[in-house]
Amino acid sequence: MKADIITIGDEILIGQITDTNSVFIAENLNIIGVTVRQIITVSDDKEVIKNAVDNSLQKADLVILSGGLGPTDDDKTKEALAEYFNSKLIENADVLEDIKRFVKSKNSSLNDRNIKQAEVPDKCKVIRNDNGTAAGMWFEKDKKVVVSMPAVPFEMKEMFENKVLNLIKEYFKTPHIIHKTIQTIGIPESELAEKLSDWEKNLDSKISLAYLPSPERIRLRLSITCDNVETATEKLDKEILELYKIIGKNIFGEGDVYLQDVIGEILLKNKKTLATAESCTGGNISRLITSVAGSSKYFKGSIVAYSNEVKQKILGVSPFTLMKQGAVSKETVEEMALGLLKVINSDYAIAVSGIAGPDGGTDEKPVGTIWIAVSDKYKCISKKYNFGNRRNVNVRLASSRAMDLLRNFIEGNITE
Amino acid sequence: MKADIITIGDEILIGQITDTNSVFIAENLNIIGVTVRQIITVSDDKEVIKNAVDNSLQKADLVILSGGLGPTDDDKTKEALAEYFNSKLIENADVLEDIKRFVKSKNSSLNDRNIKQAEVPDKCKVIRNDNGTAAGMWFEKDKKVVVSMPAVPFEMKEMFENKVLNLIKEYFKTPHIIHKTIQTIGIPESELAEKLSDWEKNLDSKISLAYLPSPERIRLRLSITCDNVETATEKLDKEILELYKIIGKNIFGEGDVYLQDVIGEILLKNKKTLATAESCTGGNISRLITSVAGSSKYFKGSIVAYSNEVKQKILGVSPFTLMKQGAVSKETVEEMALGLLKVINSDYAIAVSGIAGPDGGTDEKPVGTIWIAVSDKYKCISKKYNFGNRRNVNVRLASSRAMDLLRNFIEGNITE
């Protein structure tokens, strides 16, 4: 079956905000086996919205709208849908109750605009909104469905994940699909494809495989359409076991996790602490590690040693090393890691020094040259990388690779 | 005049990547006075692309496509446009030359697929690509225009900014519009609107004003359609002067700049250095400051003191202060700033300590309570903020407010 996504909002059409709602909706529809035919953004105009819905219904079985449900006069979606479905707007008691509760939770008081939001078309099924004042709507027509949701990402996501997806699965009797995602890092897509080619050839024909690459990582998504959840899950798990045999060291997690989550789990489990000494990454590793709620349990802190003075004075890197080998060298980055362990007294240290660019490169050490060390009190290992000449990409890749090196160090995957 | 934007790519429809190209194109069209009627994403399918172009041409004067010009078999845009415009694909010498030069610059060798990319429809004007192998195309039909560009953001942006925009201005004789953007921080939109209401009422009727809010800042864009650039610029400048009189302290820059750029310029100009001591922001301020190329000239480093141990041991915060006042207090954050100046010996210090959440809040200090101090060798000032209960928002807002407090401190805007 096919779906169209329509996002409504003048702010998108003037390039003021990026439409991330449609990305979220598309990804989740894809996961339940619904093909997204097109994504379209239109303005907050009643006739335009009606036309867009009508056009989409010609070719799609399901049309999902997001936006235009706010309390102000420029929000036109509800009126447009009421007219399109020859429906009257009537006050809905459930929605009014939700609005009252929400307004109260914000220590605010109910106004006329809020009350007007409780009016919904009489021909729709209401989808209640637990996080805001705009109710969702579900319309059916000739075995096709139109769903309308608010644009606030937080409200939309909750409504879509917890309510709309189930309604879609039920109404369209979508096939039961099980997905498992494997997160890999440190192996380019072409090499990964080559390493996996034999395995792929022998893959159960019912299982489909998707490569989902980003600069930092490649996700492998295995999907199977099934009648029996248990046997299907078994099949997937068997294949995932095979994957671990082939590229085990490059797999840092399963499901929807980031490296910083995995690092956090490992440190928590082992009751160990971490600190970082960062030069070219400028605090980005520290920022990523601390983006995880509860990271203060295992993260002690970071020394961002952007100047050689800080490398010497706080981390104790020898002036001789800095002069002889330079700030971007195996020796410096290892001294940074060991100095960090002394000064911060953590169990593990990550140290990074490199040339992020655009300036500072030489023939011997071009822009993108980055040294990473990881260490505990007994052992220190370091590796040299080159990620190219884009400053922000160098910072991103150095950060993820540094975390991955630590993961492999702790898990004992490194053989020098 | 009206434009439609069509982005082509299955990766967008499965939610794998976010379409940021259309945001860029929409924003830039808006700036030259072109109204974007709709943005639509369709799949890499020849018939679908032809249909989308045909539909758009019914209502739009200009249709801009991005995507589907790569060298692989699933790229269908060129074929679709050739068919739609009854055009033959013929090898173009200029394009072939561009491709050869590009391939050579990558130390790669020319293959059949590259050569095939030099074939373009004979009825289009070629828009040369300086950064890749896919040429852009410009078709004219009944006084309407269809433009096709590659999807790689870097290639598309360069082509659009430096070539396509000028072609559009020329062909459609778009009005000459001058824009000036003022960047404000630290004042909510409603308050800003109130402060500016008298000024807005008296604004020259030829000047239009747009509020462009984001969590960290609100941009004010003044636009004027003009025949005479000089008098129009004068008019805008006069209004901007008025703005400085009303909200001068909240203006951190003009044009397309970020706070970290402004801070960098001020420090460079004054030949001063900066360091940061970060607790709840976890290195994010340091990351932002170092995202600016050349920041090593004025940024010495950061101590991310995520644990009290680091606050004491490296920054010299007194254990008594930590015990009595707590880590999130005026006293602690000021001691962090002063300790930082001693240990890193920079001219200026920023220090931040707060409760980012979701845990750690108390009745007295709820989640979102954040103390920020800025200091030089003679003076230290600090302020308390509360940004609410979302962890990532707290980090973002604390970071931008801290940089803004430093800006005001250096510029002498703070009266205590």
CATH, residue A168: 3.40.980.10
Confidence of residue B66 (pLDDT cuts 50, 70, 90): very high
Q: Which residues of chain A have a CB within 8 Å of the CB of B313?
A: 343-344
- Which strands, in side-by-side order, build the sheet including B177-184? B207-213, B218-225, B177-184, B251-254
Two tokens, residue B11: 């990766």
Both A192 and A323 in one domain: the answer is no
Would you state the pLDDT for residue A151? 93
* B154 and B186 within one domain: no
Domain final residue pick, A197, A222, A254? A254
Neighbouring CB atoms inside 10 A of B104's CB total 11
Q: Which of A125, A145, A172 is the last residue of a domain?
A: A172
The predicted-structure confidence for A260-302, as pLDDT tens digits, reads as follows 999 999 999 999 999 999 999 999 999 999 999 999 999 999 9
Please indicate, yes or no, whether residues A208 and A346 belong to a single structural domain of this protein.
no
Contact A287 B290 (CB under 8 A): no
Mutate to test the interface with A, among B12, B13, B65, B260 (most CBs of A within 10 A): B13
User: Chain A interface, mutation test: which of B8, B24, B217, B302, most A Cβ atoms within 10 Å?
Assistant: B302
Give the number of A-B residue pairs with CB atoms closer than 8 Å: 212
Q: Is residue A416 part of a domain?
A: no
The percentage of chain A sitting over the pLDDT mark of 90, rounded to a whole number, equals 82
Q: Choose the closest CB to B286 out of A26, A35, A282.
A: A282
A107 interfaces chain B, CB cutoff of 8 Å: no
Q: Is the pLDDT of residue A145 over 70?
A: yes
Q: Is residue A312 part of a domain?
A: yes
Chain B: closest CA distance from residue A315 (Å) = 11
Distance separating alpha carbons of residues B166 and B161, to the nearest angstrom = 8
- Whether residue A389 lies within 8 A of chain B, CB to CB, comes out as no
Q: Are residues A154 and A202 in the same domain?
A: no
Nearest CA in chain A to B281: A287
CA distance B125 to chain A (A): 27
B163, B205: one domain: no
- Closest by Cβ to A36, choosing from B14, B25, B305: B14
Cα–Cα dist B220/B209, whole Å: 7
pLDDT at A228: 86
The verdict on A143 and A20 lying in the same domain is yes
List of chain A residues whose C-beta atoms are within 8 Å of the C-beta of residue B22: 15, 41
Q: What is the DSSP string of A260-295?
A: HHHHHHHHHHHT--EEEEESTTTTHHHHHHHTSTTG
| B116/B134 same-domain check | yes
> Helix crossing, B77-84 with B46-59: angle to 10°?
50
Chain B residues touching A23 at Cβ < 8 A: 12, 15, 17-19
Q: Is the pLDDT of residue B416 over 60?
A: no
Segment A198-221 shows an average pLDDT of 90
Q: Across residues B160-165, what is the average pLDDT?
A: 97
Give the integer Cα–Cα distance in Å for B121 and B360.
63
CA distance B302 to chain A (A): 5
Chain B partners of A314 at a C-beta cutoff of 8 Å? 301, 303, 314, 343-344
Residue contact A41–B43, C-beta within 8 A = no
Say if A19 is an interface residue toward chain B (CB within 8 Å): yes
A291 contacts in chain B (CB < 8 Å): 282, 391-392, 395
**A residues 147-166 lying closer than 8 A (beta carbon) to B:** none
Q: Please state the rounded mean pLDDT for residues B360-371.
A: 95
> Do A241 and A122 fall into the same domain?
no
- Residue B413: per-residue pLDDT: 86
pLDDT at A415: 66
User: Does the CA dihedral A81-A82-A84-A85 come out positive or negative?
Assistant: positive
Predicted confidence at residue A54, as pLDDT, reads 97
Please list every residue in chain B whose beta carbon sits closer than 8 Å to the beta carbon of residue A267: none
Q: Is residue B391 part of a domain?
A: yes
pLDDT of residue B215: 83
- Region A85-97: mean pLDDT is 96
Claim to verify: residue B124 and residue B228 sit in the same structural domain: no
From chain A, the residues in CB contact with B293 under 8 A are: 357-359, 391
- How far apart are alpha carbons B397 and B385 in whole angstroms? 10
pLDDT exceeds cutoff 90 at A26: yes
Whole-number pLDDT of residue B214: 84
Which residue among A18, A35, A42 sits closest to B23, beta carbon to beta carbon? A18
CATH code of the domain containing A206: 3.30.70.2860
To the nearest whole Å, the CA of A286 is away from the closest chain B CA by 6
Q: What percent of chain A has pLDDT over 70?
A: 100
- B106 pLDDT higher than 90: no
**CA dist A145 to A32, A69, A85, A407, Å?**
16, 18, 12, 47
Asked if residue B103 is part of any domain, the answer here is: yes
pLDDT digits 0-9 by tens, B251-264: 999 998 999 999 99
Question: What CATH number does residue A330 fall under?
Answer: 3.90.950.20
**Average pLDDT of the residues of chain A:** 94
Q: What one-character DSSP code corresponds to residue A148? A: E
Please give the Cα distance from B173 to B49 (Å, whole number). 28
- Alpha-carbon distance of A343 to B133, in angstroms, equals 51
Domain span at residue B146? Answer: 2-172
Rg (CA), chain B: 27
| Best of A307, A341, A347, A355 to mutate (most B CBs within 10 Å, chain B) | A307
Q: Does B346 touch chain A (CB under 8 A)?
A: no
Q: Are residues A135 and A215 in the same domain?
A: no
Q: Looking at the domain assignment, is residue B415 inside a domain?
A: no
Using CA coordinates, name the residue in chain A closest to B303. A303
Return phi, psi of residue B60, to 5°: -110, 150
Give whole-number Cα distances, A199 to A181, A207, A232, B162, B315, in Å. Answer: 16, 12, 18, 47, 54
Which of A232-246, B38-52, B118-132, B223-237 has the least mean pLDDT? B223-237
Q: Which residues of A touch B345 (CB under 8 A)?
A: 309
Segment B293-317, tens digit of pLDDT: 999 999 999 999 999 999 999 999 9
Q: What is the pTM of this model?
A: 0.88
Rounded Cα distance, B188 and B368, in Å? 17
Examine the domain organization and report whether A378 and A240 are in the same domain: no
Rounded distance between C-alpha atoms, residue B195 and residue B211, angstroms: 13
* Residue at B81 is within a domain: yes
A105 close contact with B: CB closer than 8 A = no
Report residue B382's pLDDT band, with 50, 70 and 90 as the boundaries: very high
The residues, ordered by sequence, that sit 6+ positions from B153 with a Cβ below 8 Å of its Cβ are: B20, B21, B24
Whether B12 sits inside 8 A of A26 (CB atoms) is yes
Chain B from 208 to 227: CB within 8 A of any A CB = 212
pLDDT over 70 for what percent of chain B?
100
Q: By the 8 A CB rule, do B311 and B317 touch?
A: yes
Cα dihedral sign for B388, B392, B396, B399?
Answer: positive
What is the residue-averaged pLDDT of chain B?
A: 94
**Residues in a beta bridge with A353:** A371
Q: Please identify, among B234, B254, B274, the residue that sits at the C-terminal boundary of a domain.
A: B254
Please state the domain count of chain B: 3
The dihedral of CA A353, A357, A360, A363: what is its sign? positive
Helices (H), ranges, B327-390: 330-344
Q: Model confidence at A105, in pLDDT bands (50, 70, 90)? A: confident
Task: Give the mean pLDDT of B79-83.
Answer: 97
In this structure, the answer to whether residues A118 and A22 fall within a common structural domain is yes
User: Is B165 within a domain?
Assistant: yes
Is residue B235 one of the residues assigned to a domain? yes
* pLDDT range class, residue B200, cuts 50, 70, 90: very high
